[in-house]
Structure 1
Amino acid sequence: MRLLTAAVEGLVTDVQLPDGDGPFPAVLVRTPYDRRRHRAELRGWARRGFACLAQDVRGRHASAGAWQPYENEAADGAETARWIRRQPWSDGRLVAAGASYAGHCALALALRAPEGARPDAVIAAVPALGAAEVAREPSGVERLAARAGWWAAHGDRRDSDEEALAKALAADPELLAHLPVSDLPTRLGRGLPSWPGVWRHRERGRLTSRAGRADTPLLAVGGHHDHFAEDTVALWRGWGGPSARLLMGTWGHGLVAEPGLDADPAHRVSLGDLYARWARLALAGELRHGRHGVIALGGSPLWLPAGAEGEPRTLDVLPLHGASFTADPERPVTSGELTVPTDGTPDRCLLVTAPLPHPLEVVGPAEVRLEARADTPCADWFARLAAITPEGAAERLAVGVARRADPPGRAAEFTVALGRLGRRLRAGTRLRLEIAGHHFPAHARNPHTGDDPVTAARLLASRREVGPGRVALRLPVLRSRPTPTDPVQEILR
């Protein structure tokens, strides 16, 4: 195998060629995280007969230019695709592949590049679809800790410092609590001129709106515990190409390297081998048309067909504490721990179910319906669902949020979406539901004044009331015994 380094319009690119004379199909990975970190991946593709390229995106690491996240990836990817197809080792067929931001690069190339420059197949793992998707929840609520960590590590710099935020928090534990949020660079002690622009993006779905016009096969890979799980499923559902496959495991953003507490050894998949086998079939046009895929059922060894979905069932939740509570942004409910205080002034409404009399398989979108009121003009309503095992351990299941601007003091009925679940719950498990006004520092604190949480410098406490008997927890429960499937066979059929 031969490793070459080339510059494509100033974008430095490693090229790993297989043994033999070729020509070969090619795989392109464009990344802001240092192309050299992909050399083992490049060798893996080359051993399977693919030329594989890893490229530093514009302005990052060895590549020239200015680093502007999400701005240049379609154009730069298109130029690179044209260059690849002109090379003597290329047979003209191209797979765009990547995870996280690199997944965005692959999709931007497939969906926004001109004809002639688009790839022939796409592998998008835990895709960071766009600036608005990564910065905010679908409700508009700001994802603070994740964005602060990413921008501290990668923003407005050529290299990366993965520990930048951790080191800053060690020096200043209240770093993320300082106001306004827009002044974070001052607290970090370095320039981040692009930080304010992170929060200007509010329009979601720019890439997914194009997905219906896609004309290539897609393999979308995600994890139940990943921030972008909903986006991954939406991309798969909306894809218009000849075939779309979904692989959704019991994983976080790091996929098989980041298994959840509910993961089973049977959920471990050799992604490199699966990607290569899928790419061969996709480039040969041998995949069955339509949408297929698998989702792992956490808490069990099963994989289920991606189309499996439970029927909505309302579970009775019994109020324990805090039907009236105070959401005080100076003392917010924290996102990093599941311990719940049950004495003192309530800071959340706490409800539980009775122990489950038999196991439940919960597959599909979950939600909380409630009637509630706040005495402030703007209020976030977080719903956090945890499973309390028969042994008494708490396991996070889901978090959802709705941002409301109801007239102060007026009761309103609304729904908080909890995202998609894929979980077997054991008999004897109790479900604990928390209704709170904050989830900090994972999310920025709503100041309750009606001001933008990013620029607000003044905070108000918000009195909340949750209607007694007006909370409904709706879970998608499979009515019959789930039919297992083989993940590899389902992806490759």
Structure 2
Amino acid sequence: MRVLRPTVEGLATDVCLPDGAGPFPTVLIRTPYDRSRHLAEARGWARRGFGAVVQDVRGRFASPGEWHPYENEAADGAAAARWIRRQPWSDGRYVAVGASYAAYCALSLALEGPWEDRPGAVIAAVPALGATETAREPSGVERLLARAGWWAAHGDRRDSDEHALTEALAADPGLLGHLPLTGLPARLGRALPSWAGLWRRDDRGHLTSRAARADTPLLAVGGHHDHFAEDTFALWRAWGGPSARLLLGPWGHGLVTAPGPDAGPAHRVALGELYVRWAGRALSGGLAPGHHGALALGGGDLWLPAGSDGEPSTRRLRPLHGSVFTADPERPVRSDDLTVPTGELPDRCVLVAPPLPRPLDAVGPVRLRMRATADTPSADWAARLVALAPEGTAEPLAVGILRHAEKRGHSSEFTIELGRLARRLPAGTRLRLEIAGHHFPAHARNPHTGGDPITAVRLCASRREVDPESVTLSLHTLSSRPTSTDPIEEILR
């Protein structure tokens, strides 16, 4: 095995090559997270017959220039592709590979780069599809905690400090509660000039809209507990290339290194080996056409074919308390606390379903339909679905948040999307639904003044009223015991 360290179009690059003269197919990984962290991965590809090219993106770690997230990746990736194809060890074929922001690098090259420089296949794991997708929910609500953590760790700097926000919160637990949120960089103690501009971007769907015109195979990998799970699924569904494969497991953003509480032995997948086998088939034209893949059934220790949603069913829930409540941004409902206060002044509406008489396999989208009223011109409605186990433990299942503008005091009916579930709920489980005005610090607080939550300096309480009779929870459930599929076979067929 040979390791080379050329400078490719001015950017720092490592190359791992298999033994022998070649030529070889290649994988290209472009990352803002330090290419040296991918050395073991690159060597793994080389041991299996691929050249591996790993590059620091512009302005990060050893690569010169200015770091502008989501701006230069298609052009810089195309330059790296041209360089690869000029090398004597290259057979001209390459796969663009990446996770999180690196997946964006791979996808932007495949979907926006010059046609002649595009890869032969793409592996996109937990893809961060763009600045707007990572910063906001589809309804426009701001993802505060995740973006503050990422910008504190990686924004406007050459290196990374993974613990920057954690350490800042330890010193000031109320850090994210200070207003305005544009002042966060000063409270972190360093310059973050791109922080304010992040919230002015409005390019949602930029890459996904191009996916329909894709002309390469795709392997999209994600986790049900990852904040980009919906984007991963949407990318796979929209992909117009000759084949598209999806693998969604009961994992967080770190995939198999971050298993969720519902992961079982069957969900331990050797992703590296799977990537190599899929890449070989994709480059040789050995994949069947169409959309295939596998979804893990969390809590069931098995896999289902991707796209095998259950039948929609509606569930009525019994109101416990809080059909009239106050959404006070000074005392918001916390995203990191499942405790429901029982005081006289409720901060949310709480409803429960009776215990499940038998196990339930919920597979597919979750929606909440309701009629409600707010006495402020702008209101966020956060819905959190929680599983209450017979032994008394609570676990969040799904969360959705909608920004809804309506005349003060005017009752209106609307739907909140809570994402997708692929989960077996055991008999005796009760479903608890919480409807609140905030989900903080995961999401920024709506100030209820009609102003921008990022620049607001004044907060107002909002009186809410939910019509309990209108609340309908829609789940997709399997009507019979599912038959497990082999995820490796589904990906490689």
Under a length normalisation based on structure 2, what TM-score does the superposition of the two structures give?
0.99
1:232 aligns with 2:232: yes
Q: Which runs of 5+ in 1 are unaligned?
A: none
Equivalent position of 1:299 in the other structure:
299
1:376 aligns with 2:385: no
Write the deviation string for residues 11-51 of structure 1: whole angstroms up to 9, x where unpaired. Answer: 10110011122111000000000000001100111111100
Equivalent position of 2:28 in the other structure:
28
- Aligned-partner Cα distance in 2 for 1:438–1:84: 49
- How many Å apart are 1:490 and its aligned residue? 0.5
SS of corresponding position for 1:391: coil
Moved more, 124-133 or 333-342: 333-342
SS of corresponding position for 2:134: helix
Contact 1:144 1:443 in 2 (8 A): yes
Equivalent position of 2:355 in the other structure:
355
- Aligned-partner Cα distance in 2 for 1:395–1:47: 42
- How many Å apart are 1:172 and its aligned residue? 1.4
Equivalent position of 1:456 in the other structure:
456
Write the deviation string for residues 336-391 of structure 1: whole angstroms up to 9, x where unpaired. Answer: 12111122310000011000011111101011111000000000000000100111
Equivalent position of 1:310 in the other structure:
310
Q: Match of 2:464, as an amino acid?
A: R
Equivalent position of 1:113 in the other structure:
113
1:70 aligns with 2:67: no
Equivalent position of 2:126 in the other structure:
126
> Structure 1 vs Structure 2: percent identity of aligned residues?
72
- Aligned-partner Cα distance in 2 for 1:169–1:359: 40
- How many Å apart are 1:94 and its aligned residue? 0.4
SS of corresponding position for 1:450: coil
Contact 1:124 1:218 in 2 (8 A): yes
- Aligned-partner Cα distance in 2 for 1:339–1:30: 42
Moved more, 59-68 or 170-179: 170-179
- How many Å apart are 1:170 and its aligned residue? 1.4
Contact 1:400 1:418 in 2 (8 A): yes
- Aligned-partner Cα distance in 1 for 2:405–2:21: 65
Q: Match of 1:269, as an amino acid?
A: V
Contact 1:22 1:90 in 2 (8 A): yes
Equivalent position of 2:338 in the other structure:
338
Equivalent residue runs for 1:375-454 within 5 Å? 375-454=375-454
SS of corresponding position for 1:331: coil
- Aligned-partner Cα distance in 2 for 1:203–1:402: 19
1:285 aligns with 2:271: no
SS of corresponding position for 2:185: helix
- How many Å apart are 1:481 and its aligned residue? 2.0
- Aligned-partner Cα distance in 1 for 2:192–2:411: 42
- Aligned-partner Cα distance in 1 for 2:491–2:212: 20
Q: Match of 2:272, as an amino acid?
A: G
- How many Å apart are 1:484 and its aligned residue? 1.1
Query: Alpha carbon RMSD of aligned pairs, Å?
Result: 0.7
Contact 1:243 1:290 in 2 (8 A): yes
- Aligned-partner Cα distance in 1 for 2:112–2:448: 39
SS of corresponding position for 1:400: strand
- Aligned-partner Cα distance in 1 for 2:445–2:463: 15
Contact 1:143 1:443 in 2 (8 A): yes
Q: Match of 2:362, as an amino acid?
A: V
- Aligned-partner Cα distance in 2 for 1:9–1:203: 28
- Aligned-partner Cα distance in 1 for 2:185–2:329: 22
Equivalent position of 2:192 in the other structure:
192
- How many equivalent residue pairs? 493
- Aligned-partner Cα distance in 2 for 1:327–1:313: 30
Q: Which runs of 5+ in 2 are unaligned?
A: none
- Aligned-partner Cα distance in 2 for 1:216–1:206: 18
SS of corresponding position for 2:43: helix
SS of corresponding position for 1:248: strand
SS of corresponding position for 1:116: helix
Write the deviation string for residues 141-161 of structure 1: whole angstroms up to 9, x where unpaired. Answer: 000010001000000100000
Write the deviation string for residues 380-435 of structure 1: whole angstroms up to 9, x where unpaired. Answer: 00000010011111011010011101101011100000001000011100001000
1:54 aligns with 2:54: yes
Contact 1:70 1:131 in 2 (8 A): yes
- How many Å apart are 1:480 and its aligned residue? 2.0
Q: Match of 1:458, as an amino acid?
A: R
Contact 1:140 1:202 in 2 (8 A): no
- Aligned-partner Cα distance in 2 for 1:93–1:47: 17
Under a length normalisation based on structure 1, what TM-score does the superposition of the two structures give?
0.99
- Aligned-partner Cα distance in 2 for 1:474–1:287: 36
- How many Å apart are 1:259 and its aligned residue? 0.5
